[in-house]
Amino acid sequence: MRAPIKPARPVYLLSTASVAGWDEGQGPIGGEFDILGDKTDTFGCDTWEKAESEMQRLALSEALSYGLLRDTDLDMIFAGDLLNQCVGSSYGLSEFNTPFLGLYGACSTAAEGIMLASLMCGAYAKCAAAVTSSHNASAERQFRFPLEYGGQRTPTSQWTVTGAGAFILCSDAEMLRRAEISGESIEIAEVMPGIVCDAGVHDANNMGAAMAPAAADTVCTYFECGGAVPDILLTGDLGYEGTQILRDLCSARGHDISKIHSDCGLIIFDRETQDKHAGGSGCGCSAAVLSANILRAMRRGTLRDVVFVGTGALMNTMSIQQGQSIPGIGHLVRFTAGKGADM
């Protein structure tokens, strides 16, 4: 039976860091990102793809610095992105002297990486990192059209976020004490892998509709297994279209989530002042929002219990061109604050 999984021993968030592009920096949480790019979003590189790799390198370097760690303190890195063969991760993290496992979960990669890192720390490792990114220009070039083409976007389309996030998890009491963490401790209380859900959506310009059924399945299954009602149920990232579909699907199964639900794609941009159509998307959207905004609120004690469901559309350019539908997935991670890590 599918049910939440608790790590075999307590696993805590040791540190986290976020990187964001220029547009993201002009949004509602722009002041909370650790590193912001300039108007070029090149991060000192000569291609968009190299820029995305640099964002991952910066995010993990910053997270290690915050945790008073070296790369050799990490037992493993779980990382992924939207580029073919996940080259944003492999190139970006190649300088770190750490075993690397590449992931592809599309926009669910942040949740997938945190889930796997927590399970690894709960059983075999002391310290592991989860890293992911997306870049608007590299994603548009791969999945739609190069920006220079000037293609029009439908109202249901989402804006791929230029952003990255790194999360360092730890189960070792001495490393946690050494990190001198200020604020509340944050435990990865439980996780639940998602299943692939294909609702028959074919529109590549409506990712929210493709991912919402998978998110609803994970959310409803979690609550039906006795999962606790959190302070906030955070999805990443369904945008405006997918958010309403998710709420309707959950309501149909007897779960009213409207008062606790928020979505990373709705948080990162201001709909009134930034024309991003249906909101934000991309691996970097949920990673940057979770790192900069949500987990920071947990450190402050503003939030105590967060259920994060990272959602992804599991297609590629060839499957779309061949007329296949777009399956989705939703991985769940529950964070709880103030449980009292031995620091």
pLDDT on residue 278: 80
pLDDT on residue 297: 97
pLDDT on residue 147: 61
pLDDT in tens, 218-246: 999 999 999 999 999 999 999 999 999 99
Question: What sign does the CA torsion over 294, 298, 300, 303 have?
Answer: positive
CA atoms within 13 Å, Cβ hemisphere of 51:
24
- Ranking 19-33, 184-198, 258-272, 314-328 by mean pLDDT, the lowest is 314-328
**Mean pLDDT value across residues 165-192:** 94
Checking if the pLDDT of 108 tops 70, the result is yes
C-alpha closest to that of 284 among 84, 175, 130: 130
pLDDT on residue 146: 61
**What DSSP letter does each residue of 212-268 carry, written as one string?**
HHHHHHHHHHHHHTTPPP-SEEEEES-HHHHHHHHHHHHHHTT---TTTEEEHHHHS
CB < 8 Å & 24+ apart, contacts of 316-324: 317/142, 317/143, 320/204, 323/202, 324/202
Domains along the chain?
Answer: 1-343 (3.40.47.40)
Query: In whole numbers, what is the pLDDT of the chain averaged over residues?
Result: 93
120: enclosing H helix or E strand = helix 109-123
**Mean pLDDT value across residues 139-166:** 77
Which residues lie closer than 8 Å to 168 by C-beta, 6 or more apart?
13, 14, 15, 16, 63, 64, 67, 69, 74, 127, 128, 129
pLDDT in tens, 40-72: 999 999 999 999 999 999 999 999 999 999 999
If one compares 240 and 148, the residue with the highest pLDDT of the two is: 240
Specify whether the CB–CB gap between 336 and 304 falls below 8 A: yes
Prediction pTM value: 0.95
- Name the amino acid, one letter, at 309: V
How far apart CA 38 and CA 156 sit, in angstroms, is 28
Confidence of residue 180 (pLDDT cuts 50, 70, 90): confident
pLDDT in tens, 257-295: 999 999 999 999 998 888 887 899 999 999 999 999 999
For residue 209, the Cα-to-chain-centroid distance in whole angstroms is 18
C-alpha closest to that of 162 among 31, 13, 26: 26
Confidence of residue 343 (pLDDT cuts 50, 70, 90): very low
**What DSSP letter does each residue of 46-88 carry, written as one string?**
SSHHHHHHHHHHHHHHHHHHHTT--GGG-SEEEEE-SSGGGHH
How far apart CA 248 and CA 256 sit, in angstroms, is 9
**Mean pLDDT value across residues 16-44:** 97
If one compares 154 and 339, the residue with the highest pLDDT of the two is: 154
pLDDT in tens, 62-101: 999 999 999 999 999 999 999 999 999 999 999 999 999 9
pLDDT on residue 83: 92
How far apart CA 142 and CA 49 sit, in angstroms, is 10
| Residue with tokens 């990673």, as numbered in its chain | 287
- Name the amino acid, one letter, at 129: A
**Could you give the angle at the alpha carbon of 298 between the alpha carbons of 241 and 304, nearest 5°?**
90
